Chains A and B, each alone.
Chain A
Amino acid sequence: MTEDKHEPDVTDEAFATRAGDRLRKRADELDAVTLSRLNRARQRALDELPGQAGPQRNPNWWIPAGAVAIVVAAVVVQWSGGTREPDWPLSQSPLTAKDAIDFELLIDPDDLEMIEDLEFFAWLPEEELETAG
């Protein structure tokens, strides 16, 4: 029994050959857009080859990723107000120590009392001059 052997006869093979030819021909008639998308998919796959400069295989992938992360973090810190105190030692700052202290006095709302004291200390000499005068 042919059925039991699972062996196609001559006409089966002729049919399969003809159908296969048609299907291959159809596959070769894809439109330009589809071919372009296939080409891009192939190039992405080729970038995954060992030693290729793809995102999965490039050992230095973290360099651009790290740079982006640093920039994003800097923007977020800047946007959200960030830390109000400089991270660097005052001696290495482009500002002088006096400038930094003045700056802190200006921006720190907790030091309003100190500002009032400063006004008091500024008033004292004038008061002394008037008293003396």
Chain B
Amino acid sequence: MNSPGTDLTMDYDGLVSAPEDRKLNERAAMGRFLADVERRALRMADIAVRNNEDALDIVQDAMLRFVRRYATRPEGEWPPLFFRVLRNRIIDHQRSRTVRNRVIAWFMPGQERDEPSDPGAIAPDRATPNPEEQAGIDEAMERLEQAVGALPERQRQAFLLRAMEGLDVAATAVAMNCSDGSVKQHYYRAVRSLRAALKEHWS
């Protein structure tokens, strides 16, 4: 049934797939990848900027830029590249917020703070059967996120990419646009700082 000259390929199931099918497969692969990383990306952004609306905007922008720029790269390269885009969006947002606060402080002294929202602003689902136990976990989580958010930027990135996202040192270095040695240094210092800050709650 294949007409001569038609661009058809055989996939692993032995099914014939046309270019349109490949586009659908590419969309499905990208969709799976974004669906996998988007929640953790949102947590990273929220911990960094402490504002749920801003964090959602950052993640959306990061997704758009990532797809436009890196969709044609091999799938195995996507995680560090996505988190590099996300990191750049977070940094851009923090810089613009700093500038905005300075301008507001210049014209309206005393009203300058663009206050971060409630640390738990992106509300987790609270449907947990034991309220007391949940309260203890929530408190520990609040302290952990506050401590991570208080880390210097590079340490926070290294910790979240390694510990939460599970990237190895090399991939983290790509995401942070730095050397492997820098990643190890920032990650080590982050872990030590967090342990010191949370020792009462995370024995």
| Residues of A that sit less than 8 Å from B by CB | 6-8, 11-12, 15-20, 22-24, 26-31, 34-35, 37-38, 41-42, 44-46, 48-52, 56
Contact = CB atoms under 8 A, between A and B. Distances in A.
A6 B185 contact: yes
Q: Is the interface of B mostly helix, strand, loop or mixed?
A: helix
A44 B64 contact: yes
A28 B39 contact: yes
9 contacts: A26-B145, A30-B39, A34-B123, A37-B56, A41-B56, A44-B63, A45-B60, A49-B23, A49-B26
Given A37-B56, A45-B66, A46-B67, A18 B202 contact: yes
Contacts of A50: 71-72
A7 B43 CA distance: 26
A17 B34 CA distance: 23
Interface string B30-71: 110011001110110000000010001001100110111001
A30 B56 CA distance: 12
Given A17-B163, A31-B125, A41-B56, A51 B42 contact: no
Contacts of B122: 30-31, 34
Given A6-B185, A12-B195, A22-B144, A45 B125 contact: no
Given A19-B194, A20-B163, A26-B141, A41 B60 contact: yes
B39 A27 contact: yes
Given A19-B144, A20-B166, A23-B163, A42 B35 contact: yes
